[in-house]
Amino acid sequence: MTASLKPILAPRSIALAGVSSRPDSLSIKLLDNLLAAGFTGKIYPVNPRAGSIRELPCHPSVTAIGAPVDLAVLMVPRDLVIPTVEECLAAGVGGVVVITAGFREGGEEGAGLERQLVSRLRAGGVRMVGPNCMGVINTAPDVRLDATFSPTPALPGPVAFASHSGALGVAVLEAAAEAGLGFSQFVSVGNSADVNVNDVLEYWEHDERTRAVMLYLESLDEPRRFLKVASRLSARMPVIALKAGRTAAGQRAASSHTGALAAADTAVDALLAQAGVLRVTTLKEMFDVALAAQSCPAPRGRRVAVVTNAGGPAIVAADALATHGLELAPLTAATQAEIRSFLPAEAAVRDPVDMLPSARPEDYRRALGSVLADEGVDAVVAIAVTPPQGSALEVAEAIASQARECAKPVVAVFMTAAHFYPQAHRVPGMPPVYRYPEWGVRSLAALVRHSERRHEREGEVPVVASPTLQGAVARARWGYLPQAEAFAVLEEIGLPVAPWRFAPDLEAAVQAAEELGFPLVLKGEGKALVHKSEMGAVQVNLSSPAAVRQAALGMADRLAAAGLQLDGFIVQRLVPGGREVILGVNRDPAVGPLLMVGLGGIAVEVWKDVVFRPAPVTTGEAREMIEALRGAPLLGEFRGRPAGDVASLAAAAARLGALAAAVPELAEGDINPLFVLDQGRGCVAVDVRLRLAP
Indicate the residue among 97 and 688 with the shorter CB distance to ligand ADP.
688
Among 302, 671, 673, 676, binds ligand ADP (CB under 6 A): 673
Q: Which long-range contacts (CB under 8 A, 24 or more apart) does 53-59 make?
A: 53/19, 53/21, 53/28, 54/28, 56/31, 58/19, 59/15
Under DSSP, the state recorded for 51 is: S
**Count of CB atoms situated within 10 Å of the CB of 34:** 25
Whole-angstrom distance, CA of residue 342 vs CA of residue 353: 13
Segment interacting with ligand ADP (CB under 6 A) among 41-49, 486-494, 510-518, 525-533: 525-533
DSSP string of 243-269? E-S--------TTSHHHHH--TTHHHH
> Residue 246 or residue 641: which is nearer to ligand ADP going by CB?
641
Binding range to ligand ADP, per CB under 6 A, among 11-19, 88-96, 269-277, 572-580: 572-580
Q: How many residues form the binding site for Mg ion (CB under 5 A)?
A: 2
Find the shortest distance in angstroms from Cβ 613 to ligand ADP: 24
498 interacts with ligand ADP by CB under 6 A? yes
**CB closer to ligand ADP out of 7 and 524:** 524
Q: How far is the CB of 613 from Mg ion (least distance, A)?
A: 22
Comparing CB distances to Mg ion, the nearer of 270 and 685 is 685
For the beta sheet containing 156-163, the strands, ordered from the edge strand earlier in sequence to the opposite edge, are 145-148, 135-138, 183-188, 156-163, 212-217, 239-243, 278-280
Which residues, 673 to 692, sit near Mg ion by CB under 5 A?
687
The reply on whether position 45 binds ligand ADP by CB under 6 A is no
Among 533, 543, 544, 565, binds ligand ADP (CB under 6 A): 533
**Could you give the CA distance from residue 160 to residue 133 in angstroms, rounded to a whole number?**
17
Note whether 540 binds ligand ADP by CB under 6 A. Answer: yes
- Give the separation between CA 81 and CA 87, rounded to whole angstroms: 10
Q: How far is CA 543 from the centre of its chain?
A: 50
Rounded CA-CA distance 520/498 in Å is: 10
Taking the complex as a whole, the smallest distance from the CB of residue 425 to ligand ADP amounts, in Å, to 57
Q: How far is the CB of 108 from ligand ADP (least distance, A)?
A: 48
CB of 302: closest distance to Mg ion in angstroms? 38
One residue of 194, 374, 378, 687 binding ligand ADP per CB under 6 A:
687
Range 388-447, binding ligand ADP (CB under 6 A): none
Identity of the residue, 484 or 498, whose beta carbon is nearer to ligand ADP in the bound complex: 498
Number of helices and strands (H, E) in the chain?
Answer: 23, 31
Q: How many binding residues for ligand ADP (CB under 6 A)?
A: 14
Query: What are the Cα distances from residue 394, in Å, to 178, 402, 610?
Result: 20, 13, 49
Picked from Mg ion, ligand ADP, none, the partner binding residue 521 (CB below 5 to 8 A depending on kind) is ligand ADP
Asked if 525 is part of the footprint of Mg ion (rule: CB under 5 A), the reply reads: no
By CB under 6 A, name the one of 572, 586, 619, 648 that touches ligand ADP: 572
Cβ atoms of 674 and 684 within 8 Å: the answer is yes
Q: Nearer Cβ to ligand ADP, position 90 or 602?
A: 602
- Sign of the C-alpha dihedral computed for residues 10, 11, 16 and 21 taken in this order: positive
Q: Does 672 bind Mg ion (CB under 5 A)?
A: yes
CB of 522 to ligand ADP, least distance (A): 9
| 334: three-class secondary structure by DSSP | helix
Query: Interface with ligand ADP includes 484 (CB under 6 A)?
Result: no
> Over the range 349-362, which residues count as b (16 or more CB within 10 Å of their CB) and which as e?
bebbbbbeeebbbe
Residue-level length of the chain: 694
**Contact set with ligand ADP (CB under 6 A):** 498, 521, 523, 531-533, 538, 540, 572, 574-575, 673, 686-687
**Contact set with Mg ion (CB under 5 A):** 672, 687
